[in-house]
Amino acid sequence: MDSVTEFLVNLIKIVFLDLILAGDNAIVIGLAARNLAPSTQKKAIFYGTGGAVLLRIIATIVVVWLLKVPWLLAVGGIMLVWIAYKLLADNDDHTDIKAGQTLWGAVRTIIVADAAMGLDNVIAVAGAAEQNIILVILGLLISVPIVVWGSTLFIKLINKFPWIIYLGSAVLGYTASNMITEEKRFAPFFEQYPVLRVLFIVIVVIAILALGYLKRASMKKRKDEHSYS
């Protein structure tokens, strides 16, 4: 794969991962601005998202730099494995997000809530960018407007086609396991035995999808039993 193709593939991966992980953030934006007048809502969403994006870019660049520190690439990969599983297993409704009563109150809520919830996005984007800062900034600049203006549509799309969530978790699993194999302490071993590297990545992805599927099935069963009782 030449450098231009690799750059474009990684950029697409970053945008896709950010969209998959942005459902929560889109809900936060809607909840924080729900009590404002329609014209003020647009301003709150614009300013709030702008502040959140700026903070996200800075945080991701810091994480990209931190991933160069020994062992942190492996730690980031392990955290991303958990995030990939949570993407399938979680069922948060975010009812604790308070609606802002003023423009700047809503803007503050959006920025603070996004920062608190954005760790998964930051680690995923930093891992997928493979320490390329330009990729980080471009990926976020492309995906964020889609999140703001097309978030409702994307959430509906995920609800209609549940396999998109599984695809997202698989991509996260691949990114996570790839990060672990590229850890400086492990890289020489996996370079010496490339088959084991492929096997490790495949096992991690399958484990995430299988455990996530079982968790979702268990939650659905409990929900059905509760509705019948």
Tens digit of pLDDT for each residue in 116-164?
Answer: 566 677 888 888 887 788 888 888 777 766 666 655 566 567 678 888 8
Summarised one tens digit per residue, pLDDT across range 37-87 is: 777 777 777 787 778 778 878 888 888 888 888 888 898 889 889 888 887
- List Cβ<8 Å contacts ≥24 apart for 95-102: 97/27, 97/28, 97/31, 97/32, 98/32, 99/31, 99/32, 99/33, 99/34, 99/35, 100/32, 100/33, 100/35, 100/36, 100/44, 101/35, 102/36
Mean pLDDT of the 93-112 span: 65
Which pLDDT does position 117 carry in this prediction? 60
* Total count of domains within the chain: 1
Percent of residues, the chain, with pLDDT higher than 90: 15
Which pLDDT does position 95 carry in this prediction? 47
- List Cβ<8 Å contacts ≥24 apart for 36-43: 36/100, 36/102, 36/103, 36/106, 40/103, 40/106, 41/106, 43/103
Which pLDDT does position 208 carry in this prediction? 94
The amino acid sitting at 103 is: L
Mean pLDDT of the 94-120 span: 66
Mean pLDDT of the 158-184 span: 86
- Its domain, for residue 93, covers 3-228
Which pLDDT does position 209 carry in this prediction? 95
Q: Are 70 and 129 in contact (CB under 8 A)?
A: no
Q: Using CA atoms, how far apart are residues 169 and 20, in angstroms rounded to an integer?
A: 9
H or E element at residue 113: helix 103-117
Mean pLDDT of the 15-42 span: 70
Q: Using CA atoms, how far apart are residues 79 and 119, in angstroms rounded to an integer?
A: 10
Instruction: State the chain's mean pLDDT as an integer.
Output: 79
